[in-house]
């Protein structure tokens, strides 16, 4: 029987080294925005866990809906009022992709401002 979908990870079971998705600026920015939303969500969850006392009418259902509300709030904050960690990650990945491209054999040398070749 053939595996139509194929394995998700690499054959060795480690992290995939396919960085072709990072070459597209839109993909890179979307990844930064999703990272920002996850980070903000983790921060909100941590703040909720630091409550000082239990409420009289707290329930598991209320906690579940509060978690969903926090998740939506984190996504909204990442889009409308980012804290900057996603942008920093995007800039770092874009810079590392440029470095990898320049380090490949046969890559053209880059020119500096003075017109000399590095």
Give the three-state DSSP class for 117.
strand
pLDDT at 96: 79
pLDDT at 98: 74
Mean per-residue pLDDT pooled into runs of 10, the chain (118 residues): 49 63 76 89 87 76 88 90 86 78 57 49
Contact 85, 43 (CB under 8 A): no
Contact 90, 32 (CB under 8 A): yes
Provide CB contacts within 8 A for 103, sequence distance 6+. none
pLDDT at 20: 65
Give the three-state DSSP class for 111.
strand
Distance, CA of 33 to CA of 17 (rounded, Å): 21
pLDDT at 72: 92
- pTM, full prediction: 0.56
């Amino acid at each position: 029987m053939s595996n139509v979908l194929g394995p998700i990870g690499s054959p060795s079971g480690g992290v995939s080294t396919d960085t072709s998705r990072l070459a597209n600026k839109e993909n890179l920015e979307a990844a930064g925005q999703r990272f920002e939303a996850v980070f903000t969500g983790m921060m909100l969850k941590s703040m909720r866990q630091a409550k000082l006392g239990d409420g009289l009418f707290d329930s598991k259902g209320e906690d579940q809906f509060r978690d969903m509300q926090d998740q939506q709030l984190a996504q909204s904050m990442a889009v409308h009022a980012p804290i900057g960690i996603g942008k920093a990650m995007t800039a770092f990945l874009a810079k590392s992709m440029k470095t990898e491209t320049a380090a490949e054999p046969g890559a053209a040398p880059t020119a500096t401002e003075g017109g000399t070749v590095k």
